[in-house]
Amino acid sequence: GQNIDQPTEMTATEGAIVQINCTYQTSGFNGLFWYQQHAGEAPTFLSYNVLDGLEEKGRFSSFLSRSKGYSYLLLKELQMKDSASYLCAVMDSNYQLIWGAGTKLIIKP
Amino acid sequence: GAVVSQHPSWVICKSGTSVKIECRSLDFQATTMFWYRQFPKQSLMLMATSNEGSKATYEQGVEKDKFLINHASLTLSTLTVTSAHPEDSSFYICSAGNRDFSYNEQFFGPGTRLTVL
């Protein structure tokens, strides 16, 4: 079956760095997405990786290793507004998104 | 660009009534639209995928007669929850994509919160 695993909850301190991991097993691979979702709102796109390596976009970076079925989202200089759920999703061979359950990130002052 | 709207944002209805939710792509043509449901503290669950002009493809366990999906144009898809019951109360989110997008990216609407009394 298809499976996306990510931690349920993480806590970090304002100004610090946090890494959210995601491992996946899917039928084919057409890219991995990270989305941010604040409570009661729809997800918003953060990043897309289809090749191995690191993609940096401001305070957020995303890494992919296809051979290991592994990705991480790195958030630097954490701000209180970064408190949200972070969803890892993999697009399978049918171009369908397979979603992880999300990681709730709690930022403390 | 790539804005998706949903209407209504929230709706409260009595048990047994039907509710229609609209999803519109405002500045692009959506060849594919997706309907998700999300219960509190859970991840998104794909309900169905619809391609313009053809019947929707429903995920296993989703009743097609209860959740009617119409994707009549490249900018509009509707989800009708028929004979709604309290267990249908959830956050319904649509997303839209175009096969020509480089990332195969889906753009999400703001969601519709449905409460069935």
Distance from CA of A46 to the nearest CA of B (A): 11
DSSP state of B26: S
A59: pLDDT strictly greater than 90? yes
Residue A66: strand, helix, or coil: coil
pLDDT of residue B103: 65
Percent of chain A with pLDDT over 70: 100
Count of residues for chain B?
Answer: 117
Spatial CB neighbours of B9, under 8 Å, sequence gap ≥ 6: B110, B111, B112, B113
* Side-chain half-sphere CA neighbours of A88 within 13 A: 28
**Nearest C-alpha neighbor of A58 from the set A50, A70, A46:** A46
* CB distance A79 to A107 below 8 Å: yes
pLDDT of residue B102: 65
pLDDT of residue B79: 96
Contact B93 A97 (CB under 8 A): no
* CB distance A88 to A25 below 8 Å: no
Average pLDDT over all residues of chain A: 94
Q: Lowest mean pLDDT: which of A7-16, A79-88, B50-59? A: B50-59
User: Which chain A residues are Cβ-neighbours of B110 within 8 angstroms?
Assistant: 41-42
Each residue's pLDDT tens digit in chain B (117 positions)? Answer: 688 999 999 999 999 999 999 999 998 888 889 999 998 878 889 999 988 778 899 999 999 999 999 988 889 999 999 999 999 999 999 999 887 776 667 889 999 999 999
AA identity, residue B83? S
Q: List residues bridging with B15 in a β-sheet.
A: none
d(CA A93, CA A2): 11
Distance from CA of A64 to the nearest CA of B (A): 15
Report chain B residues touching chain A, CB-CB < 8 A: 34, 42-46, 49, 91, 93, 103-111, 113
pLDDT of residue B55: 84
Instruction: Return the residue of B nearest to A5 by Cα.
Output: B43
pLDDT of residue B40: 83
Percent of chain A with pLDDT over 90: 80
d(CA A72, CA B70): 37
Q: pLDDT tens for residues A68-82?
A: 999 999 999 999 999
| A48: nearest CB among B49, B103, B111 | B103
Contact A95 B103 (CB under 8 A): no
Which two structure tokens, joined as six digits, stand for B2? 């790539």
pLDDT of residue A31: 92
* CB distance A71 to A24 below 8 Å: yes
CA dihedral sign, ordered A2, B79, B83, A40: positive
pLDDT of residue B106: 83
| B43: nearest CB among A42, A48, A100 | A100
pLDDT of residue A51: 93
